[in-house]
Amino acid sequence: MRLRAGFAVSAPAKINWLLRVGPKEPDGYHAIFSIVQQVSLFDRLLIGARRRGIEFSCRGLSVPAGRDNLVVRAAERLQREARIAEGATIRLTKRIPVGAGLGGGSSDAAAVALALNRLWKLGWSRRRLAEAVAPLGSDIALFFSSPLSVVEGTGGAVRPLRAPAGRNIRRPPNWLVIVYPNLFSSTAEAYRALDRLRRHRRASSRLPSLSPRFPLTPREREIIISRFLRRTRTSLRPLLGNDFEPVIYGAFPAVRGAARRLAQAGATGVLLSGSGSAVFGVFASVRSARAAAEAIQTAEPAWGVWVARPLRRVPPVRVV
């Protein structure tokens, strides 16, 4: 596909520092409370002008084509919402694996909306763009927010997480090693498995419950956020948590093995991201992170392994 001059944008992956999942509601959904961090593992999108229609191509990792792809659906939805007759060419370079809990598809959808906002000269705010494509997936909204956000409800309630006004809180310079053990994890099935495990534990008086009290009270939420903002390298580990770990580690021994390898490589904290199957480890220096990544990649050459950093700024849309 030949691409005329247009715009380029990087779509970051995300990790979940904390993910609490409430019980299944009557409407079939689960409320969550999560602290989400965008990181420096990117898909890349190039967007150019086209008279009519959306023309899409992808290189790198294999993804669905046409309207089965979230990027195309986001572009077409924005086109309808804005009543734009003009089309676009979209070239995706895919690095973030699918079914990994890293939010790659949702990030791509948000990134293409931001770029098309420039291409089509819509002048829409991030909030309006998020509202336009929100029906395509609850995770998309967080990629219109700041790099560090709190996500609540069914995923659409997103608020930036920043230090309180007047307080200069210096966060530790954490480095991350993200490991994808080449396994697809279905989010829908992860929720079903968590519900089954919780029912089983409730039915057995000899097993501890996996159902934390939910929802958290406003005071409990603010205490968690305050502790997280004031974290140090030594205080970060107790703040990490993911309610999906018991079911994903039980269903996929390789995911549990990836977490074990990160711990053995010296990570100060290890956690599943989202509903998996990627896990990440926290390291104090780039040297220790790179050494760990090299050791894991050598031992498991079929896995995806990346060194990344938490983002401090949202990637800009650039003219190309």
Catalytic residue ranges: 14, 139
Q: At what angle do helices 104-119 and 126-133 cross, to 10 degrees?
A: 120
> Residue 241 forms beta bridges with which residues?
18
Cα 113 to Cα 107: distance, rounded to the nearest angstrom: 10
Instruction: State the DSSP string of 207-220.
Output: S------SSPPHHH
Task: Give the residue from 202, 218, 241, 195 showing the smallest Cα distance to 25.
Answer: 195
Task: Give the residue from 22, 11, 38, 31 showing the smallest Cα distance to 273.
Answer: 38
State residue 81 phi and psi, 5-degree precision: -60, -35
The dihedral of CA 292, 284, 171, 268: what is its sign? positive
Structure tokens that stand for 205 in this block:
């008086």
> Residue 8 forms beta bridges with which residues?
46, 318
